[in-house]
Structure 1
Amino acid sequence: MSKKVVTMGEIMLRLSTPGYERFTQAKIFDVVYGGGEANVAVSLANYGFNSYFVSKLPANPIGQSAVNHLKRFGVTTDYISRGGERVGLYFLETGASMRPSKVVYDRANSAIAEADILDFDFDEIFKDAQWFHFSGITPALSEKAAILTEEALKAAKRHGVTVSVDLNYRKKLWTPERAKEVMTNLMQYVDVCIGNEEDAEKVLGFKPGKTDVTKGELELDGYKDIFRQMKEQFDFKYVVTTLRESYSASDNGWSALIYDGNEFYHSRKYDVRIVDRVGGGDSFAGGLIYGLLNTEKDFKEALEFAVAASALKHTIKGDFNLVTVDEVETLVNGDASGRVQR
């Protein structure tokens, strides 16, 4: 029987400028849907899991379009509550070379931000589930969303479900002080913690040593130090981070580091020419969950799968990582040639 995995969060309507146009140039926008936990749900559906996305969307054609978009890629939408006033929006301007990409949010008072605990039957949602994934974006949406997230986590633990979090700090949604207050409390329910250097500092108060991603430099000893502290404070089973070396908006180095309490493991690094980096971290989380749920892989192999999956995502337009297990395994096994497959 296929494993049941659950994610919960906001799916938004994404409006992107065509090509590399600036907002002030654009006469039209390309439309897709996406959002942290929805992106993870799509990855897991692609990998053959029974993938459920939990959210709330308006009972109007735009809300239905978002539901249809998820169904198109195999995500089960039975637990999406309908109601509320609006679907959140975000606008994306894709950068190039030394010009960074820009995101503008228009998501205040979205349906999931205003959702109530009574909109969901969490005991039904987590029945027979093996994994639950959420991110720091969801509790940042509103006070009600923070309460909703904790109720979901309590139910997941009642049902013996493994929980992962992507810390995902978003400065446009809340302050570091508020993030630390809310997220530190939620860590008691978490088994696998994923976050980059900014997340660890802004959300949980841990700062790695000499790393400065704006210089394209990594100092792994700094990460090892904070990983030990995080493991000691929160008793995570695994602490994980992606390592992005930002040479420019167009070219990044991409790898990851995992700690199981005994051993640090640094993955292979990929040099990636970026087509669309939005959803890169989510595709990593989806790959990691797949790997850790796959009994034939150890945690190092799970990490290699996650890094390869997310490296491939950087080459795909849109929020979703539309790759298969076979495609990821081919890259893991060393074929990064990009040769035409006939």
Structure 2
Amino acid sequence: MAKIITMGEIMLRLSTPGNSRFIQTDCFDAVYGGGEANVAVSCANYGHQASFITRLPAHEIGQAAINALRRYGVDTSYIARGGERIGIYYLETGSAMRPSKVIYDRAHSAMAEAVPEDFDFDAIMQGADWFHWSGITPALSAGAAQLVQAACEAARRHHVTVSADLNYRRKLWTPEQAQETMRPLMKYVDVCIGNEEDAELCLGFHPEADVRAGKTDAEGYKETFRAMASEFGFRYVASTLRESYSASHNGWKALIYDSRETNPECQFHQSRHYDIAPIVDRVGGGDAFAAGIIHGLLTATPAQAVEFAAAASALKHTVEGDFNLVSAAEVEALAGGDGSGRVQR
């Protein structure tokens, strides 16, 4: 299988039990997670050699985060140790019409204060097949944005495929800041992943979609995908199409655009639709999709890749925690139509 590198910040996640609110709980459930770390875990679960790059403090909480990755087969040998603190985020899981809420406590984290000199990117990219990052990382700090650029430049030197999940986070930066940083980084990207909000706020494109009203017709995305690929040279553009009926009930499907396909009828591939209710934990759903796209494009056709990715991310909504703890066989079973949920004996 492939050697896949991901880079970002792994955080301590503190969640209120069940659907309790921040103001009513007196305890939190602790797990570890973060966009690119979640992708690494999924890729390792699919049998790839997955490595994660980050910077963590040299204390027990930093080590616990590393151990969480090692538990699922992720290579942590490229992780730098240093800094004072690990990033934290608090999660209140919503229900029905009450949305989930996230509160960040990640300023001045070890990864936010990392510099390119903390990593030998040429050594890391040697022999790699794929490098993945997301828009969360350059949003952390100017130094973290420099890390992304340095890693992408090394990936380009070593002919490594690069994917980026745009992953706009309004609590980390403004659309103006995002576009100023993200648009120049797109010249390194082969596979661009992001939903309609990401495309608009990170890159300035405007797909015709209203997820709150359940309007995610794939036709509204096609011209936007073509324009994005034309401007930045992407090989593929992929997106989930979430229909958000409530915090507990979502519709789910996905779309991929193959810019190298000359036949217009074969350029776009849409996955089957999933009706997800009740949702157990939607955090990490986009990361599960990104990992599914990476695995799918490495092992199958674009049409098969988007089916695998949509099924993988649909399954993530049924798994508590950031990590998508499912196997390739389980994803393939769902993508093949087995969504009955019957007990396996």
State the TM-score, normalizing by the size of structure 2: 0.97
Is 2:113 the partner of 1:108?
no
Question: Structure 1 residue 124: deviation in Å?
Answer: 0.8
| One-letter identity of the residue aligned with 1:287 | G
Question: Structure 1 residue 105: deviation in Å?
Answer: 0.3
Ranges in structure 1 where 5+ consecutive residues have no aligned partner: none
Question: Structure 1 residue 313: deviation in Å?
Answer: 0.5
- The alignment-based identity, stated in percent, is 65
| One-letter identity of the residue aligned with 2:269 | Y
How is 1:210-221 mapped onto 2 (pairs within 5 angstroms)?
Answer: 211-221=209-219
* SS of equivalent residue, structure 1 residue 282: helix
| One-letter identity of the residue aligned with 1:214 | R
| One-letter identity of the residue aligned with 2:227 | Q
How is 1:306-317 mapped onto 2 (pairs within 5 angstroms)?
Answer: 306-317=309-320
Question: Structure 1 residue 182: deviation in Å?
Answer: 0.6
Listed one character per residue, the Cα deviations across residues 302-342 of structure 1 (whole Å, up to 9, x for unaligned) are 11000001100100000000000110111111110000001
| One-letter identity of the residue aligned with 1:286 | A
| One-letter identity of the residue aligned with 1:31 | A
Given that residues 112 and 141 in structure 2 are in contact (C-alpha distance below 8 angstroms), is that contact kept between their aligned partners in structure 1? Answer: yes
Listed one character per residue, the Cα deviations across residues 136-176 of structure 1 (whole Å, up to 9, x for unaligned) are 00000000000111000000010000000000000110110
Listed one character per residue, the Cα deviations across residues 74-132 of structure 1 (whole Å, up to 9, x for unaligned) are 10000000000100000000000000000000000000100011110001100100000
Which aligned runs of 4 or more in structure 1 are off by greater than 3 angstroms?
none
Is 2:182 the partner of 1:183?
yes
Number of aligned pairs? 338
Q: Which residue of 2 aligns with 1:195?
A: 194
> In 2, Cα distance between the equivalents of 1:243 and 1:133?
21
Listed one character per residue, the Cα deviations across residues 264-302 of structure 1 (whole Å, up to 9, x for unaligned) are 1111010012100000000000111011111xx211001
Q: Which residue of 2 aligns with 1:204?
A: 203
Q: Which residue of 2 aligns with 1:8?
A: 7
Q: Which residue of 2 aligns with 1:331?
A: 334
Q: Which residue of 2 aligns with 1:300?
A: 303
Question: Structure 1 residue 216: deviation in Å?
Answer: 1.3
> In 1, Cα distance between the equivalents of 2:286 and 2:15?
19
| One-letter identity of the residue aligned with 1:327 | E
| One-letter identity of the residue aligned with 1:25 | Q
How is 1:1-342 mapped onto 2 (pairs within 5 angstroms)?
Answer: 2-209=1-208, 211-261=209-259, 262=264, 263-273=267-277, 274-294=279-299, 297-342=300-345
Ranges in structure 2 where 5+ consecutive residues have no aligned partner: none
Question: Structure 1 residue 222: deviation in Å?
Answer: 2.0
> In 1, Cα distance between the equivalents of 2:258 and 2:218?
16
* SS of equivalent residue, structure 2 residue 255: strand
| One-letter identity of the residue aligned with 1:291 | G
> In 1, Cα distance between the equivalents of 2:139 and 2:147?
11
> In 1, Cα distance between the equivalents of 2:337 and 2:211?
26
Question: Structure 1 residue 134: deviation in Å?
Answer: 0.2
Question: Structure 1 residue 219: deviation in Å?
Answer: 3.0
Listed one character per residue, the Cα deviations across residues 165-224 of structure 1 (whole Å, up to 9, x for unaligned) are 000000110110010011000000000000000000000000012x11111112322211
* SS of equivalent residue, structure 2 residue 24: coil
Question: Structure 1 residue 61: deviation in Å?
Answer: 0.4
> In 1, Cα distance between the equivalents of 2:256 and 2:217?
15
* SS of equivalent residue, structure 2 residue 343: coil
| One-letter identity of the residue aligned with 2:95 | A
* SS of equivalent residue, structure 1 residue 65: helix
State the TM-score, normalizing by the size of structure 1: 0.98
RMSD: 0.7
* SS of equivalent residue, structure 1 residue 149: helix
> In 1, Cα distance between the equivalents of 2:98 and 2:174?
26
> In 2, Cα distance between the equivalents of 1:336 and 1:219?
23
Question: Structure 1 residue 4: deviation in Å?
Answer: 0.7
| One-letter identity of the residue aligned with 1:60 | H
